[in-house]
């Protein structure tokens, strides 16, 4: 019997993975108490002795190294200054844009294949709700009515939920006009800041606090839409922000000296010019409404005199644009001044509202004279009614 032998060449290829040294720090990150998942947040590990700029990161959960919910795995050998036994490493969750972070825990590198870090819990940022801003006038809501030549107290308040039981700090609020922005410098026309808001810790349940912020808003604050924004931090410096809007109404108001004194005059004489200042105590530009009377409105007189005839309203005159000092004839008097009337007449004045915080520049002079006709004697008194108006000249 003949046997034929065929040689068989067996080739065995051994594939050996390239393996480098690794030392994993493993830990659990619990979901936030407000229900926000820890999944896909980022954990950073660093050696405090070398600074946080030398760090390694991992994504929590199934999309990270661990492939397991709520767990991270970081190889500390990947640090530029590789970890060695005895290193005390720091770990925390960093903000990925939603405001959720953790505090810092530490893990010591041992001779084991890996080390387990203390658990982390995702911190819930303070959550502001029910933000409202208004004055003390109940009706109508969402409208601020300013007070002439004074300030109005505006209250901005909110409820803040803090699920982690952290202390709240750095509470501040800003109240600003639509032409201004959060973070701008204060200006009585457009922007107010309160860095000493009141925290009512007895409000609501264990997770709730009330924040109350007050602003003293001046009469010349610009009318229109305003925003109140409240910001608060917890003890991890994680912030919560909430806001509400309201409207500041237009305030039409002026102030005038109490007396126009023409002094002592003889019959047939035109008085010296009296200068009376008008001040805008509102927050919009004003024109003037003017009328006069002797005893009662509409009586046709400028002054009522206790001896002889009264002075007709026709003989009291004003100029709202320019002064004409010195002695005037009756003709000059009539040419350079406008007749006061018994019925209100609106005249262009264009007195803008106050813009300067150091002094009130929203003041203009008005110029007055009176003529005493024959037959008038004694002490004469009358009234001039100044009114603020947004109407055009009549």
pLDDT at 126 exceeding the cut of 70:
yes
3-class SS of residue 228: strand
Q: Which residues of 144-174 are buried (b: 16+ CB within 10 A; e: fewer)?
A: bebeebeebebebbbbbbbbbebebeebbbb
| CATH value of 254-389 in 1.10.10, 2.60.40, 2.30.30, 3.90.1690 | 2.60.40
Distance of CA 387 to the CA centre of its chain: 32
Mean pLDDT, residues 109-117 taken together: 95
Q: Please provide residue 78's backbone torsions phi and psi, each rounded to the nearest 5 degrees.
A: -85, -5
Give the CA-trace dihedral at 320, 326, 332, 335, to 10 degrees: -10
In the chain, residues under CATH classification 2.60.40.10 are: 127-248
Query: What is residue 164's predicted lDDT score, i.e. its pLDDT?
Result: 87
pLDDT at 13 exceeding the cut of 90:
no
- Sign (positive or negative) of CA dihedral 370, 372, 373, 379: positive
Please report, rounded to a whole number, the percentage of residues in the chain having pLDDT higher than 90. Answer: 86
Between 265 and 139, residue with greater pLDDT = 265
Q: How confident is the model at residue 87 (pLDDT cuts 50, 70, 90)?
A: very high
| CATH architecture entry for 127-248 | Sandwich (2.60)
Please report, rounded to a whole number, the percentage of residues in the chain having pLDDT higher than 70. Answer: 95
Q: What is the mean pLDDT of the chain?
A: 92
pTM metric for this prediction: 0.84
pLDDT single digits (tens) 169-215 = 999 999 999 999 999 999 999 999 999 999 999 998 888 999 999 99
Mean pLDDT, residues 295-318 taken together: 95
For 340, what's the count of Cα atoms within 13 Å in the CB-facing half-sphere?
31
Q: Which two tokens stand for residue 34?
A: 């407000």
Instruction: Give me the CATH topology for the region 24-121.
Output: Immunoglobulin-like (2.60.40)
Do 366 and 278 touch, CB atoms closer than 8 A? yes
Residue located via tokens 């294949």: 113
């Amino acid at each position: 019997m003949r046997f034929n032998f065929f040689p068989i060449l067996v080739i065995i290829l051994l594939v050996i993975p390239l393996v480098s040294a690794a030392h994993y720090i493993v830990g659990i990150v619990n979901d936030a108490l407000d229900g926000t998942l820890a999944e896909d947040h980022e954990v950073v590990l660093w050696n405090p002795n070398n600074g946080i700029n030398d760090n390694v990161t991992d994504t929590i959960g199934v999309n990270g190294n661990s492939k397991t919910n709520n767990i991270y795995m970081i190889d500390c050998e990947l640090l530029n200054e590789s970890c060695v036994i005895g290193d005390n490493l720091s770990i925390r969750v960093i903000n990925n844009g939603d405001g959720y972070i953790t505090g810092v825990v530490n893990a010591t590198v041992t001779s084991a294949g890996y080390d387990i870090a203390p658990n982390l819990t995702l911190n819930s940022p303070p959550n502001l709700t029910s933000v409202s801003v208004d004055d003390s006038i109940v009706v109508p809501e969402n409208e601020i009515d300013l007070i002439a030549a004074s300030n109005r107290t505006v209250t901005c308040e909110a409820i803040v939920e803090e699920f982690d039981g952290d202390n709240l700090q750095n509470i501040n609020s800003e109240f600003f006009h639509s032409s201004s922005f959060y973070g701008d410098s204060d200006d009585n026309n457009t922007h107010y800041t309160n860095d000493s808001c009141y925290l009512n810790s007895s409000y609501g349940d264990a997770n709730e606090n009330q924040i109350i912020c007050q602003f003293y808003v001046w009469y010349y604050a610009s009318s229109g839409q305003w925003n109140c924004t409240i910001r608060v931090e917890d003890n991890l410096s994680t912030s919560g922000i909430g806001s509400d809007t309201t409207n500041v109404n237009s305030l039409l108001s002026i102030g005038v000296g109490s007396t126009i004194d023409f002094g002592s005059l003889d019959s047939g004489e035109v008085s010296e010019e009296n200068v009376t200042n008008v001040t805008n105590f509102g927050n919009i530009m004003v024109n003037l409404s003017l009328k006069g009377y002797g005893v009662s409105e509409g009586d046709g007189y400028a002054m009522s005199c206790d001896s002889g005839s009264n002075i007709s309203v026709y003989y009291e005159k004003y100029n709202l644009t320019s002064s004409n000092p010195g002695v005037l004839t009756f003709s000059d008097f009539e040419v350079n001044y406008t007749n006061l009337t018994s019925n209100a007449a609106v005249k262009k004045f264009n007195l803008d509202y106050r813009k300067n915080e150091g002094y009130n520049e929203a003041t203009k002079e008005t110029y007055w004279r009176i003529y005493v006709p024959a037959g008038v004697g004694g002490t004469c008194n009358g009234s001039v009614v100044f009114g603020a108006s947004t109407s055009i000249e009549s």
